[in-house]
Chains A and B, each alone.
Chain A
Amino acid sequence: MGVGIEVKELNAWFGKAQVLKDINIKVGANAVTAVIGPSGCGKSTFIRCLNRMHETIPEARVSGSVQVGDTDVYKPGTDAVDVRRRIGMVFQKPNPFPTMSIYDNVAAGLRLNGYNKRRELDQIVEHSLRMAALWDEVKDVLKKKSGASLSGGQQQRLCIARALAVQPELLLMDEPASALDPISTGKIEELIFQLKAQYTVVIVTHNMQQAARVADHTGFFLMGKLIEYDKTERIFTTPCDKRTEDYITGRFG
């Protein structure tokens, strides 16, 4: 089952440049939350702070607290690798491991954490590919074809399957459909809609229609600040803040 997220006074820096300022937000379990805002507003950094990917960049720094389910993400003693195992991430550009077969790509997260039971792996791989709506297209070439041989849309669904295979509590998606054509985008959106039965999903998107279609709640970021956060339909129909209104009506950004 999905878990909720509670972020308190989150700040993030790249070197001396502060990219997130005092973010406070509560995200419900088993819901889809969209993060929107113009380029450079910190929305990608925000979700990368949730699973401690931000700190993998040299000179990047974070302060504040993030609670995901019963894990205090930034508590001293919390292992970043363990956090990332429990919080899956799908990136903007599909990034399957090119030297691995489709099967090995999906199994990678488990295998490289020392999990090696053949039969159970088979089941998990099939289940994950079914969840990602990719099974029927690849079931005959699982071990024959490389992950990189698939089309862009298939690669992204493979990456989703790979993230689901480690059975995370939370799924973060950083503009997962921005590099895809409309048909693949439709498939990914449908998938996100189905995933929320079992997962909490946080999705960054540049596409406001997409946010309106898939998200229960939407947060609007501007210059590193969370300007407004509410039910999606309220954000898109009656936003409280002038800046939100300007952005969604296309007046800037």
Chain B
Amino acid sequence: MPSASRPLGIRRRLANFCFIGLSGVAAILVLAPLGAIFGYLVYKGIGSLNWAFLTNTPRPVGEAGGGMANAIVGSTMILGIASCIGIPLGIGAGVYMAEFGRGRYVNIVRFTADVLNGVPSIVVGIAVYALVVLPQQHFSALSGGVALGIMMIPTVARTTEEMLRMVPNTIREAALGLGIPQWRATLQVTLRTASKGVITGIMLAFARVAGETAPLLFTAFGNQFWNLNPNQPTAALPIQIFAYAISPFDEWHRQAWAGALILIVLIVVAVAAVRVVTSRGTMQGNA
């Protein structure tokens, strides 16, 4: 037995130091790419960013100025439609898996969600093209929203399921023991207890699809003009950035950088806003 009063062995201290050091390095390495991307976007994009960029529609080639106002609004519209589809369906499937489903059916739903999560986004785009765009005979914000909404479902469903599973069973029993009907106990007690994690899952899914380009190519298609009709081809930031970035014009390249910067800022603002709004109702000592 080593004496308890002896100072910690040099090896143990060294190992401790190394481990803490390595985890610190890993943390920095995680932050570095994000910082680098954001810094580079600001560096390249800020020059073309002005009021006109946020309020004007694109100008024809050769004409200076113009902006991406229609794409900003279009992206908002498409993401709104996607959220209306992806969030309720995702939460519903997650609640089924964690609260109501039994055995085999749960496994089938979970497996399907995991497969759907792995389907390349361009495949989702083609599928929605075949199922929505072709029958309608035209591109639309609606079909774009359907494609992105489908892509949101697995992330929302799986996080909802995981978060609900972390709610202790004693909470469910407390609710049932009060004579609260099960659907209400699930919605207003269990789901509410898990709400922080569920919202994180929603924001993850939202942020992921907000930058998707491929599924929008055959669905929302893009548009150089104003359009507020969800049943018409609609501009979206990722499509606009893509189109401008592969063009041969320097002016458009600069605008693509500015568009990318705006896209990132919009995602960060949306996520931060949801965090602020949803944390307002919490009290002291909330577990």
- Are A99 and B193 in contact, with the CB atoms below 8 A? yes
Q: Is B174 a contact of A95 with CB atoms below 8 Å? A: yes
Main secondary structure of the interface of B (DSSP, over half): helix
Chain A residues within 8 Å of B59, by CB? none
Query: Are A91 and B189 touching (Cβ within 8 A)?
Result: no
Give chain B interface residues in 139-180, CB to chain A under 8 Å.
168, 170-171, 173-180
Quote the shortest CB–CB distance from A136 to chain B (angstroms). 19
In the complex, chain B residues whose CB is within 8 Å of the CB of A97: 171, 174-175, 189, 192-193
Decide if B173 touches A53 in the complex (CB within 8 Å). yes
Q: Which residues of B contact A98 (CB under 8 A)?
A: 171, 193, 286-287
Q: Are A146 and B285 in contact (CB under 8 A)?
A: yes
Asked if B178 contacts A148 (CB within 8 A), the reply is no
- Residue pair B174, A91 in contact (C-beta under 8 Å): yes
Q: Would you call B102 an interface residue if the criterion is a C-beta within 8 Å of the partner chain's C-beta atoms? A: yes
B76 within 8 A of A: no
Residues of A within 8 A of B174 (CB): 91, 95-97, 159, 162
Residues of B with C-beta under 8 A to A88: 177-178
Number of interface residues of B (CB under 8 A): 27
**Which one of B174, B181, B195, B285 has the highest number of Cβ atoms from chain A below 10 Å of its Cβ?**
B174
Q: Does A163 contact B (CB under 8 A)?
A: yes
With A97-B189, A99-B282, A149-B286: A81-B171 Cβ-Cβ less than 8 Å: no
**Candidates B102, B195, B283; contact of A144 at CB < 8 Å:** B283
- A146–B177 alpha-carbon span in the complex (Å): 20
Cβ of B203 to closest chain A Cβ, rounded Å: 18
Distance of A144 Cα from B284 Cα, bound (Å):
7
Q: Which of B102, B177, B287 has the most CB atoms of chain A within a 10 A radius of its CB?
A: B177
B286 engages A86 (CB within 8 Å) = no
Nearest CB on B from A170, distance (A): 12
Residue of A89, A143, A150 with most partner-chain B CB within 10 A: A89
- Report the Cα distance A241→B182, complex, angstroms: 43
A109 at the interface (CB under 8 A from B): yes
Flag B177-221 by CB within 8 Å of A: 1 or 0 each.
111111011001100110100000000000000000000000000
Pairwise interchain contact A145-B284, C-beta atoms closer than 8 A: yes
The complex places the Cα of A95 from the Cα of B171 at a distance, in Å, of: 6
Q: Is A84 an interface residue (CB 8 A)?
A: yes
A163→B285 contact, CB < 8 A = no
Would A148 and B286 be within 8 Å (CB), given that A112-B185, A112-B188 are in contact?
Answer: yes
A-B contact pairs, 12 of them (CB 8 A): A51-B177, A53-B177, A56-B173, A84-B179, A89-B177, A91-B173, A97-B175, A112-B178, A141-B284, A146-B286, A148-B286, A150-B285
Which 8 A-B pairs have CB atoms at the shortest separation, nearest pair first?
A149-B285, A85-B179, A109-B178, A89-B177, A98-B287, A95-B170, A84-B179, A148-B287
Taking Cβ atoms with an 8 Å cutoff, the residues of B that contact A are: 102, 168, 170-171, 173-182, 184-185, 188-189, 192-193, 195, 282-287
